Amino acid sequence: MSYKNFTIETDADGIALVTWDMPEKSMNVFTEEVMNEIDAIVDATVKDEAVKGVVFTSGKSTFSGGADLTMIRGMFSLLQGEQAADPDQAMQKLFDVAGRMTWLWRKVETNGKPWVAAINGTCMGGAFELSLSCHGRVASNAKSVKIALPEVKVGIFPGAGGTQRVPRLANTQDALQMMTTGQTLTPQRAKAMNLVHQVVEPDQLITAAKQMIKDGLKPVAPWDERGFKVPGGGIWTPAAAQLWPAAPAILRRETAGNYPGALAILKCVYEGLQLPFDTALKVEQRYFTQVLRSTEAFSMIRSLFISMQELGKGARRPAGIEKQKLTKIGVVGAGFMGASIAYVTAAAGIAVTLIDRDEEAAAKGKAVSEKLVADSVGKGRLSKEEGEKLLSLITPTADYATLSDVSLVIEAVFEDRQVKKDVTEKIETVLPEGAIFASNTSTLPITGLAENSKRPEQFIGVHFFSPVEKMMLTEVILGEKTGDKALAVALDYVGQIKKTPIVVNDTRGFYVNRCVFRYINEAYDMLIEGVPAAMIENAAKMAGMPVGPLSLNDEVAVDLSQKIMKASIADLGENSVKPEHMTLIDKMVNDLDRRGRKNGKGFYDYPAKPAKKSLWPGLKDFYPQKKAEDVDVGVLKQRLLVTIALEAARTIEEGIVTDPREADVGSILGFGFAPYTGGTLSYIDGMGVKTFVALCETLAASYGDHFQPTPLLKEMAEKGETFYGRFDPYRAEKKAA
């Protein structure tokens, strides 16, 4: 029998090498067709008496990243469609779909012939759960090998046997840590945890896997043998009596109870380890079905799995323009941002000309990359040769003439209109006719900056976030005259450097910074009301934000907030900034020189390491303090999330953001908006627009008109609409179909 996605070669020893290599795909993923073929391969190899065992591997550079995007999307579409018509039937269908992979892997495990997984690259999610169902596991020691069960990061959990096999192989504490955090393991760490049997050189992978079978590998999982004991002795031991009471408390400290998938992992492991294996799998299947139906899982999978992949693959790229692979770009401005942009560009294999006012300043910019490379080499993330190659791609210079052969130039100079005007004019005297000009500005509108250009249709904004090497989001900003080619090239570049782009129209602060400063401004209001600073910060974390608004303000710099406020007043008038906010920040910056982390003092104090930062005690003397018992933490959480989501809704109403996927993904990647919500607009859709509008009106009555719902929100509430319904990003696809 022939297969579309697999080839089978049986050698003279009777070992069938099953190679997974999906045509026309860069990575193997699970689809309905793939699972049907695996099912058929199990039957065929069991039936074939010549086959003594099976080695399962990948024909690609990676093993598999897990489930297919379209399969996941289809499953949720099916659930949404059938839920309303027949809830019981929808639940049963979801339960069956959720268990398909579980019982197929169990079929592999109990087929009667030994299977060995030969792991040659990224092996995550359902792919690693398949590997765990094999009787032997051999991994290559290549740096590209990454092993993980990362499902919790997209709102679900390892529901194809992961929660049952991992704690039966590794000790319970390590198993819980791995699954509740989505931790990525090296092959060596996986072996130390007993999740992999051997780690070998890449060219020995298949040989070693076959040798396991030749050496008499038993086709029986440890838990299917009489007398099997869980590592550490199971649930009813003194060690477990210490672990299990603490585990939920630790999880709550880390997640504030916002992630049902993470809690389900604890339940599956605790209950499953007390049951026979097949019964434990059914328990896992029930919890998985329950979590799949949660708002959190739906929203997180949509934003952090489906939408992020679609945007990363160029969902907003204009049609009809040939994709461009950039080989050389220019970066003008070798300060921290420009230098970091040069680093991520060179890391993607693109040559960079890094320009500043003189050779010394440009060389100082390259030194940023030299330090980053040294750190990566020291930690084993790069080899010495790879580091040297990366650095060889960055050429520091003061000579603008070196831009004569670039296809893209990124201006990253000081945030000043006149400085940017002067640099634009210098660049355009040497820039090739077809090259694209991108400005890395965080606040200045692109349309205004493009007025300095002779070719505004080739002028675009590409806004990076700091630290550039860690932040995965890039805002691509369209000026009024920006053309499709500029957008296409910008998206091609962002794709090459492996960032996720969102495309936004021009406005002050664009999308992310508009939302960020709403978050920070709400904290100013709370301080002025007398809410203790610690309660503000803790409420933010309880709401799901990675850092509190005061901490975030210190990171972006308190004096930057002052500059932005002053610029707003100059451009938009006195009413654009609350006087109380201006007074607070003027006092912090002008009177107390508390500018944030950069000068070691802001809303927090930053002592020398290893001491940790702590809230500045002097804050409590600014305003009369409320007693903690008089402050409703639930309301604080609502205010912090609602003010951001409301600003996101405004950007949609104003036409700044046109695709709800970008609002959601941008809010999570840009500043960590409570990931369990799926992002700003999913937060609104998740509770229902009508409920959100009522919440806004309640908050407005107590805390100010900035909480008043917009006309669009009121209209949507009346019509019972959602953002993903009214601004359906797949409308064109549906029409074409």
Active-site amino acid positions? 463
Residues 6+ apart with CB under 8 A from 120: 57, 58, 61, 62, 63, 139, 140, 142, 145, 202, 205
* Residues with Cβ within 8 Å of residue 299, at least 6 apart in sequence: 155, 676, 677, 678, 679, 682, 683, 685, 686
Strand (E) or helix (H) holding 147? strand 147-148
Take residue 66 and report the two structure tokens written for it: 């897990």
d(CA 157, CA 178): 11
Residue 528 near residue 580 (C-beta atoms within 8 A): yes
Report the distance separating Cα 260 and Cα 299, nearest Å.
Answer: 12
To the nearest 10 degrees (0 to 180), the angle between helices 238-255 and 260-272 is: 170
Q: Which residues, 6+ apart, have CB-to-CB distance to 32 below 8 Å?
A: 71
- SS3 letters for 175-231? HHHHHHHCCEECHHHHHHCCCCCEEECHHHHHHHHHHHHHCCCCCCCHHHCCCCCCH
The CA-CA-CA angle for residues 459, 411, 422, to 5°, reads: 90
Find how far residue 404's CA is from the centre of its chain.
36
- Structure tokens, 279: 């019964």
Residues 181/187, Cβ–Cβ less than 8 Å: no
Retrieve residue 197's tokens.
Answer: 């049997």
Bridge partners, 396 (sequence order): 354
CB 69 within 8 A of CB 137: no
**Which positions ≥6 away from 576 have C-beta within 8 Å?**
568, 569
DSSP string, 522-587: HHHHHHHHT--HHHHHHHHHHTT-SS-HHHHHHHH-HHHHHHHHHHHHHHH-GGGS-HHHHHHHHI
